[in-house]
């Protein structure tokens, strides 16, 4: 599900106008133990996210969406559809 996971995360970044650094800071603040390079690799598909990594990154993005008055628009790992790529 590398493609599906990274696509969801990239979509969130684009919709928020965030950079990888913004996501890295937000992910660390919700309890993730990522390096900035980890976040870049996960968002670009350079390496596959584990279910926990995906959900932490999505939680950080969704927290910001909630701050902006939007619900939780990004899919958690259990809601991802397997990639056909």
Listed by start position, the domains of the chain span: 2-69
**What's the rounded mean pLDDT across residues 36-47?**
94
**What is the band of 71 on the pLDDT scale with cuts at 50, 70, 90?**
confident
The pLDDT value given to residue 64: 96
What's the rounded Cα separation, in Å, for the pair 54 and 8? 9
**What is the band of 83 on the pLDDT scale with cuts at 50, 70, 90?**
low
- Full-model pTM: 0.90
Give the CA distances from residue 28 to residues 23, 80, 83, in Å, rounded to whole numbers and listed in that order.
Answer: 8, 23, 27
| b (16+ CB within 10 A) / e for 33-56 | ebeeebbbbbbebeeebeeebbbb
């Amino acid at each position: 599900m590398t493609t599906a996971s990274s696509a969801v995360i990239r979509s969130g970044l684009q919709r928020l106008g965030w950079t990888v650094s913004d996501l890295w800071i937000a992910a660390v603040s919700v309890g993730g133990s990522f390096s900035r390079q980890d976040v870049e690799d996960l968002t670009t598909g350079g390496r596959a996210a584990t279910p926990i990594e995906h959900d932490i990154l999505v939680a950080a993005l969704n927290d910001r969406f909630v701050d902006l008055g939007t619900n939780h628009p990004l899919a958690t790992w259990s809601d991802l559809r397997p990639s056909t790529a």
